């Protein structure tokens, strides 16, 4: 995997500022659906000291947008994105569109999580099973993570709603200083393999307007 020390991204806004989000780490995961063979790239910008928010890029043939998820405030900020390249350096211009409340399920509060270690060797492999209730015997979601050593605990960089909910209880912090290099996810009849293709240190900040468009 190619690791780049610094990638400078620039954002422009023309309105009053209220909150600034800082990002210092980029991850690019490739997800392959075993059944349909569909492949999609998942690019996220993160704060390695605060996993409560992250930015995800959404690029298609028709448009280029970004979503900033803030789980602490339970909101999602939407942006349109313009990409340019100057002297080989990629720059993004983010234009704020609106904000929406994140949809949360009260059912997830009753879920039971079972975390276990499959292999303690290098690479380290762990599993996470999610059950729909405290007494359920059959998991509704299963994950197997292959972990690589890091200088701090970066497991939270693997952006999954299931993992985000589970990380709140602090169990993942006990695993140690690792990041997720590969994951196998099973949900009902769907199985996906997710592989880390690239990671970079970055310098990016985004400021949302004082008056949000809800």
Q: In this predicted model, what pLDDT tens digit does every residue of 161-208 receive, in sequence order?
A: 556 555 555 566 678 899 999 999 998 889 999 999 999 999 999 989
Instruction: Quick: pLDDT tens for 15-60.
Output: 444 689 999 999 999 999 999 999 999 999 999 999 889 999 998 8
What is the per-residue pLDDT for 16? 44
Determine the 3-state secondary structure of 43 from DSSP.
strand
Gyration radius of the chain's alpha carbons: 18
Contact 161, 128 (CB under 8 A): no
Q: Is the pLDDT of residue 11 over 90?
A: no
Q: Mean pLDDT throughout 72-92?
A: 88
Q: Is the pLDDT of residue 14 over 70?
A: no
Give the whole-angstrom CA distance, residue 49 versus residue 98.
26
What is the per-residue pLDDT for 105? 60
Q: How many Cβ atoms are within 10 Å of 25's Cβ, its own excluded? A: 19
What is the per-residue pLDDT for 194? 94
What is the per-residue pLDDT for 36? 92
What is the per-residue pLDDT for 160? 65
Determine the 3-state secondary structure of 168 from DSSP.
coil
Of the candidates 88, 34, 98, the one whose C-alpha atom is nearest the C-alpha of residue 66 is 98
Taking the alpha carbons at both ends of the chain, their separation in whole angstroms is 40
Task: Pull the structure tokens for residue 52.
Answer: 């409560």
What is the per-residue pLDDT for 169? 52
Query: Residue 111, CB half-sphere, CA atoms under 13 Å: how many?
Result: 23
Give the whole-angstrom CA distance, residue 77 versus residue 58.
13
Backbone φ and ψ of 160, nearest 5°: -135, 135
pTM of the predicted structure, to 2 decimals: 0.82
User: pLDDT band for position 115 (50/70/90)?
Assistant: confident
Find the helix or strand (DSSP H, E) in which 27 lies: strand 17-33
Q: Which residues pair with 6 in a beta bridge?
A: none
Question: Sign of torsion, CA 93 99 105 106?
Answer: positive
Give the whole-angstrom CA distance, residue 24 versus residue 46.
6
User: pLDDT band for position 7 (50/70/90)?
Assistant: very low
């Amino acid at each position: 995997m190619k690791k780049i020390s610094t990638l400078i991204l620039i954002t422009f806004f023309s309105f009053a500022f209220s909150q600034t989000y800082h990002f210092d780490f980029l991850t690019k995961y490739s997800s392959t659906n075993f059944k349909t063979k569909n492949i999609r790239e998942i690019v996220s910008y993160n704060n390695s000291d605060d996993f409560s928010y992250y930015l995800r890029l959404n690029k298609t043939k028709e448009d280029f947008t970004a979503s900033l998820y803030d789980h602490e405030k339970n909101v999602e900020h939407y942006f349109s994105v313009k990409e340019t390249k100057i002297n080989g350096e990629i720059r993004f211009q983010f234009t704020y569109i609106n904000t929406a409340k994140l949809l949360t399920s009260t059912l997830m509060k009753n879920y039971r999580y079972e975390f276990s270690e499959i292999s303690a060797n290098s690479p380290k492999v762990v599993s996470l099973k999610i059950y729909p209730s405290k007494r359920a015997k059959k998991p509704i979601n299963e994950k197997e993570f292959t972990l690589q050593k890091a200088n701090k605990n970066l497991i939270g960089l693997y952006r999954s709603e299931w993992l985000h909910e589970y990380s709140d209880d602090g169990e993942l912090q006990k695993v140690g200083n690792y990041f997720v290099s590969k994951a196998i996810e099973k949900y009902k009849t769907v199985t996906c393999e997710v592989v880390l293709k690239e990671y970079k240190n970055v310098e990016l900040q985004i400021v949302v307007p004082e008056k949000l468009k809800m």
